[in-house]
Amino acid sequence: MGRMPVSLTAPAPFAKLDAPLRAVVRAVLAREERRAGEIAIVLAGDAELRELNRAWRGIDRATDVISFAYDEDEPDAGTRPVGGDLVISMERVAEQAKRYRVTPGAELARLVVHGTLHLCGHDHVGAGERTVMREREAGAVRAVRAMAKRLDAAWSRPRRAAKPKRAPASARRAGPKRTATSRRTAVAPAAKRSSATKRTAKKRAAPARARSGRRGPHGSA
């Protein structure tokens, strides 16, 4: 099976946001009349976003979303399939949702819209382009309200725990058997999983940073 044009890298609790997030990206691209190239959404935390912001934008603080466009400096960038990485801080999503009195799904959808518009070539450095981008963002946010509700539903859906299987009667009478693998834990501790997640997010974002072009990445502010 080929690689999906839009993919998600995220800690396990957020993996179920995959389908609605990809739907948001595709909706924005459709409004911009652009095709999807290879686009990766990376859900991370404040620490990762602060590191990227400092390294690539010279701003030493966490931010909510940073986009890395692959081909923005190419002469035909406006006609190529849109490719790049969107790195989003889930801590900023939760904090800003409370501040703006919206749901987490609505705020996450807004940040994905914002980042995808950057990948399409929009920016907010000058007053004129800032006005255009805000108009495009507002229209796209309205268009993806249904996807935002899907994000909230997926976010709040409890994960089903697997029911423990009852051991056969013979095993219950004989008691547990010690095996070679029973001395090792099959699931990594939370701290190790967290570190692995951070390494995955950095590894996934690295190729985009290397290919992001001379203008560098874009943030929300």
Query: CATH no. for residue 77?
Result: 3.40.390.30
Residue 175: inside a domain: no
Amino acid at 218: H
Predicted TM-score (pTM) of this structure: 0.73
Residue 100: inside a domain: yes
Residue 166: inside a domain: no
In order along its 221 residues, the chain shows pLDDT tens digits of 445 689 999 999 999 999 999 999 999 999 999 999 999 999 999 999 999 999 999 999 999 999 999 887 788 888 899 999 999 999 999 999 999 999 999 999 999 999 999 999 998 888 888 999 999 999 999 999 999 999 999 987 655 544 545 544 544 444 433 333 333 333 333 333 344 344 444 444 443 333 333 345 665 65
Q: Which domain holds residue 78?
A: 6-158+189-219
Q: How many distinct structural domains can be found in the chain?
A: 1
**Among all chains, which residue has been given the structure tokens 């889930």?**
90
Q: Across the strands, what pairs with 107?
A: none
Helices (H), the chain: 18-31, 46-57, 90-100, 104-119, 127-143, 145-156, 169-174, 190-211
